[in-house]
Amino acid sequence: MDKTNNHNKFLKLRKAYPYFVFQSYSIIRTKTSLQIKFLFDLAGQHRFQPEMEIPLRDFYPLENLPDSELENLVFQIGMVELVSYWKAACSPKVMVRAGHLDAEQIAWWKKLYFHGLGEFFYLNGIATDRTTFMEITAEGEAKEMSDLSLDMEKVLVPIGGGKDSAVSLELLKNSGLNVKPFLLNPRAASVRTIEIAGFPIENAAVVNRKLDPELFKLNAAGFLNGHTPFSALLAFVSALTALLSGTGNIALSNESSANQSTVPGSEINHQYSKSFEFEQDFNWYLKHYVHPDLRYFSFLRPLNELQIALLFSHLPQHHFSFRSCNVGSKTDSWCGHCPKCLFTYVMLSPFLPQEKLERIFGANLLKDRTLLPVMDELNGKAKVKPFECVGTPEEVNTALWRAVENNYVDKQFPLVKMAGSLENVREKESFQRLLDSVNRNHLLPEKFFRMIKKALADATF
């Protein structure tokens, strides 16, 4: 990618498309679903109409959610949905006609957009700043916060199909709480996860999201493209689903390492909308503009990736069904060549025999010399981490060391022998410290925090 050309493209597109409009949204209630559509306008030259559909469930008391409160949530979802379309031309002015935003909200959204697009700006070589990259004006009417009574014994658990959400669901389902899985655009792995855990799809909250094909046409025509804060969209959609079901808790599965920047020494983080900073910001937003009692927290925030891998190793029913590979998501497979595949393989290596890992992934990734550049990005030798949801170099290096100590991994495997980082973690204490440490920067209610500590105490290896 020619970053210089892309910055020049950024400047030209901003001049050619000086404004972006969040024009309106529509909500249609039917007997079987809630249908939502947004209307965005790019400088009068392109229109986008993304859609969402929420199939109704027996546990949605839809009649209890007034139109005014429903509109508030839909409007907020539109505010995060628009960034996927805005980034095509990065118009300097965003006009919000679909609703009202006060000064604090505008500042909040600008922070989310700027940091959530940090990877997009970095990889495209776009030089901009949080003040000038976008001006937001709001011309619409104010929306009403919800004051519905929420059941604090109910928990909504977003499920993506990877190991983390499987751990959360399995720990929470036996807690005595009323647990409901939540799936946004369900894929085969996420459906398998909930079914293996004992939740049929009919008992899960489901939202189907559809992008406007016009965006793909612009991408093909050479407009700007890149990563957006998808987890922020998930946050707002899960909030709507929680209110529909009268649920007081939304329990994510983001771990402590999601806080680490992808580009060392910067604020650029592929996982920004999974970070603790965003989690805190979103809770503030919920309490001031959505519902004062709705709780949004990451159930796994006290844990690191090594601890999550340990807990997952005790869930053999999920070992051959989970998927974390983005490249293989459309084919429900592990590609075996990306940072996510290699990272997951490495983290499970201290806890699962190599023969089983080879059956899960279809190959021994630690023997694949073509993955050496990827290993360098994971173990800290390269300057930049992969732009994927992966853990820290310390977690990777410690996992490799322990896998060798366990005799699960041959120290002569190419990626182990040539990684060049194992000397940093030769001490047994490094591994044990990671397994014993608990991140105190979290928003877990005490009941949930006790569950995490008990799960760790009960886990063996």
pLDDT at 273: 84
Per-residue pLDDT band for 386 (boundaries 50, 70, 90) equals low
Convert 276-317 into a string of H (helix), E (strand) and C (coil): HHHHHHHHHHHHHHHCCCCEEEECCCCCCHHHHHHHHHCCHH
Pair 176, 289 in one domain: yes
- Mean pLDDT for the chain? 89
User: Are 426 and 280 in a shared domain?
Assistant: no
Phi-psi category of residue 162: left, alpha or beta, with phi > 0 → left and psi -120 to 50 → alpha: beta
Question: Is position 418 within any domain?
Answer: yes
pTM for this predicted structure: 0.94
Are the C-beta atoms of residues 200 and 37 closer than 8 Å to each other? no
Q: For residue 356, what are the domain limits?
A: 323-437
292 in the same domain as 330: no
For 329-370, what is each residue's pLDDT tens digit?
788 899 888 988 999 999 999 999 999 999 999 999 988 889
Which of 298, 331, 359 represents a domain boundary (last residue)?
A: 298
Q: What is the phi/psi pair of residue 244, to 5°? A: -60, -35
Are 291 and 357 part of one and the same domain?
Answer: no
Same domain, 257 and 400: no
Eight-state DSSP code of residue 141:
P
Core vs surface per residue 314-352: b (16+ CB within 10 A) or e:
ebeebbebbbbbebbbeeebbebbbbbbbbbbbbbbbbb
**Are 408 and 367 members of one domain?**
yes
- How many whole angstroms separate alpha carbon 238 and alpha carbon 125? 33
Q: Report how far residue 70's alpha carbon sits from residue 96's, in angstroms, rounded to the nearest whole number.
A: 18
**Cβ–Cβ under 8 Å, residues 175 and 11:** no
340 and 373 assigned to the same domain: yes
Do residues 252 and 349 both lie within one domain? no
- 453 within 8 A of 438, measured Cβ to Cβ: yes
The pLDDT tens digits of the residues spanning 24-80 come to: 999 998 888 999 999 999 999 999 999 999 999 988 877 767 788 899 999 999 999
The answer to whether the CB of 367 falls within 8 A of the CB of 359 is: no
Question: What would the pLDDT profile of 117-128 be if each residue is shown by its tens digit?
Answer: 988 988 898 988
- 3-state class (DSSP) for residue 41: strand
Out of 107-121, 227-241, 264-278, pick the least confident: 264-278
DSSP letter (8 states) at residue 324: -
Q: What is the count of structural domains for the chain? A: 2
* pLDDT in the model for residue 262: 58
Please check whether residues 330 and 380 belong to one and the same domain: yes
Classify strands 151-158 and 247-252 as parallel, antiparallel or unpaired: parallel
Query: Is 222 among the domain residues?
Result: yes
